[in-house]
Structure 1
Amino acid sequence: MTDTDRGRSRDRESAFYLFTQQWLPACKPVLSLAWVILIFLFIGFIFIPVGLVTLQASHSVIAHSLALVVEIVEQYDIGCVPKPFRINKVSYIQDDSIPKNCALFFVEHRSLLSCISLFFRNTYFASNISLYIKSRSDQQLLRGRKYHDTISYHPVEFSNDQHILPCGLIAWSLFNDTFTFIRDREELKVNRKNIARKSDREHKFGKNVYPFNFQNGTVIGGGKLNPRIPLSDQEDLIVWMRTSALPSFRKLYGRIETDLDVDDVVVKLVLSTTSWLGRKNDFLGLAYVFIGSSSVTVAVVITLLHLLSPRC
């Protein structure tokens, strides 16, 4: 046997050769009708209880006492805009001579126990498009303006021939609405600390990186940043920089750590208490219930079809 033949023999005995030629031993289970029905029933019996428990958690809080998860939502972009500008809201926003203050009132007939989470909600804001998502520099956010990623973060990059910090469209469009809550002429304190993820604060935004020239160009975008505070402590920016996959999303603005009693009059926006699952959100529970119910339904249909027309 020549060396070439020995080499070919060794190649044929290799695991890669056996795998590519599909000669490796394999288990090929054949699912019978009974096994298929049992699998679907097992999925249904697991998913349905989990979904019901999740829905229950979304509507209740297990604390010192059982209380409903209360969520109050108010859309203010219409009522707070004067009628002459409702057709062209952009001109109203860009006109600095017009005051932008707006007051909304409501009376809540249920007690809200602290801690009350305050969210702002955006709709039809496509933050998941490629140009917007790539318009940032993670290296710059963490290490300063001397470091830049290879990806593009145009068009908001330079100001007076200097790199903007932070650069990119995401930071440039920072949400800039501010909210004040007043109860019986007394202002409620809104805690805006610890609203961002700890991992983002410690590992994605630099403790020695300061936004010295942000929003100083000719085209001004959203909110401004304090140049004397490092990016790791500017949590409103950190929350905004985490983009959402869907065009409608909520972001945490702060927390009211004061109990609101029945019939208290306060400014209305988005207030929500939380459970161990988070804020009120029925999607996860409904998804579990739907998948479980669908599995049970499929198992029942297969069983009935087999009983009505059994195969030999």
Structure 2
Amino acid sequence: MHSESEVQYHMKAPIYVYYELDNFYQNHRRYIKSRSDKQLRYGLKYTDSSCSPIEKSDGLPIVPCGLIAWSLFNDTYDFTRGSMGIVVDRKNISWRSDREHKYGKDVYPFNFQNGSLIGGGKLDPDIPLSNQEDLIVWMRAAALPQFRKLYGVIEEDIQADEIITMHITNNYNTYSFGGKKSLVLTTSTWLGGKNDFLGYAYLITGSSSIFLSILFALIHVKIPTHGDAAYLSWSRKNGNN
């Protein structure tokens, strides 16, 4: 499927392409525990029950195992401007620390999505997990049921009033859990990207702190309290003696 959209404002590169899911609880206890960090790092020699219920398929172990990997997001996006394609850079979209320290460079997908029950995207069995950046981004579980994950980066400006055509391969089934999915293009400033939740949280927390500080100051001025050494336990003992 494809959709056209007119860009309302000048978007300066880099432009970040996110997919957004709503009503998807990656923070569910059973879901978030269904993984093996040792297997992601060291491979087949670690197959433990923490991946239940996605541990094996047809009697063979699965790499990567667990519900998180099994439900990998697999929609794809392409963009054109007129007859010209817009390149989306899919590299370095994950955290460097994850690539280098959490996913093995010699660990390859094995028996993944080969059973009768298919969850989400497939993985190239010839590419090590440390280079499977879609998987690495997806495996960093979100704390809230509505979240965005980075799909790629556009390294060219998009001018205001330009018509951008988005070509979407609609693979991921959100109907099964009553969810929604969206495509988001955004830029960032030296302050970072747009995040209304954090802004509201900081404003509410800061305002509450200022209000409580003023309240306690007024209480202190109206009802001053002074320390009296006579009430100290050692003073009473000395007085009794």
Structure 2 length as normaliser, TM-score? Answer: 0.80
Q: Name the counterpart of 1:187.
A: 85
For 2:19, the equivalent position in structure 1 comes to: 120
> 2:130 & 2:223 partners in 1: Cα distance?
67
- Contact (CA 8 Å) 2:64, 2:110: kept in 1 or not? no
Structure 1 stretch displaced more, 229-238 or 156-165: 156-165
Pairing 1:247–2:161 present:
no
More helix by share: 1
Instruction: Report SS of the residue matched to 1:258.
Output: coil
From the superposition, tell whether residues 298 and 142 of structure 1 become closer, same or farther in structure 2 (CA, over 3 Å). closer
CA contact (8 A) 1:110 1:263 kept: yes
Partner of residue 212, structure 1: 110
SS in 2 for 1:290: helix
2: CA distance, partners of 1:295 / 1:156 = 46
Alignment of 1:1-312 (within 5 A): 102-149=1-48, 151-267=49-165, 269-302=183-216
1:305–1:266 Cα change, 3 Å: same
5+ unaligned residues in a row in structure 1: which ranges? 1-101
| Residues in 2 aligned to 1:307 and 1:208: alpha-carbon distance in whole angstroms | 67
User: Contact 1:210–1:229 (CA<8 Å) still a contact in 2?
Assistant: yes
Distance 1:145 1:277, change over 3 A: farther
Q: Which amino acid aligns with 1:132?
A: Y
The verdict on how the C-alpha distance between 1:185 and 1:299 changes in structure 2, with shifts beyond 3 A counting, is same
Write out per-residue CA displacement over residues 18-67 of structure 1, whole angstroms, 9 at most, x where no aligned residue: xxxxxxxxxxxxxxxxxxxxxxxxxxxxxxxxxxxxxxxxxxxxxxxxxx
Confirm or deny: 8 A CA contact 1:115 1:256 kept in the other structure. Answer: yes
1:311 Cα deviation after fit? 8.7
In structure 1, distance between residues paired with 2:10 and 2:27: 37
TM superposition shift of 1:130: 1.6
* Partners of 1:138 and 1:148 within 8 A in 2: no
Tell me how far apart the structure 2 counterparts of residues 295 and 197 of structure 1 sit (CA, whole Å). Answer: 34
The CA deviation string for residues 274-296 of structure 1, in whole angstroms up to 9 with x for no partner, is: 12332101333433333332233
Distance 1:310 1:205, change over 3 A: closer
Residue-by-residue CA offset, 1:126-145 (whole Å, 9 max, x unaligned): 11112111111111111111
Give the AA of the match of 1:171.
A
More strand by share: 2
- What code does the residue aligned with 1:140 have? Q
What is the CA distance between 1:307 and its match in structure 2?
6.8
Residue 189 of structure 1 deviates from its aligned partner by 0.7
Larger radius of gyration: 1
What is the distance in 2 between the residues matched to 1:185 and 1:115?
A: 21
| Displacement after TM superposition at 1:241 (Å) | 0.7
Same amino acid, percent of matched pairs: 54
Question: Per the alignment, in what secondary structure is the counterpart of residue 152 of structure 1?
Answer: helix
Contact 2:108 2:125 in 1 (8 A): yes
Aligned length: 210
Q: Secondary structure at the match of 2:144?
A: coil
Q: Which moved more, 1:221-230 or 1:102-111?
A: 102-111
Q: How well do the aligned residues superpose, as a CA RMSD in angstroms?
A: 2.1
For the residue of structure 2 that corresponds to 1:104, the secondary structure is strand
Q: Which runs of 5+ in 2 are unaligned?
A: 167-182, 227-241
Q: How far does the alpha carbon of each residue in 1:212-235 deviate from its partner, in whole angstroms, 9 at most, with x for none?
A: 321111111100011111110010
Distance 1:242 1:311 in 2: 51
Partner AA of 2:200 in structure 1 = L
Give the equivalent residue in structure 1 for 2:233.
none
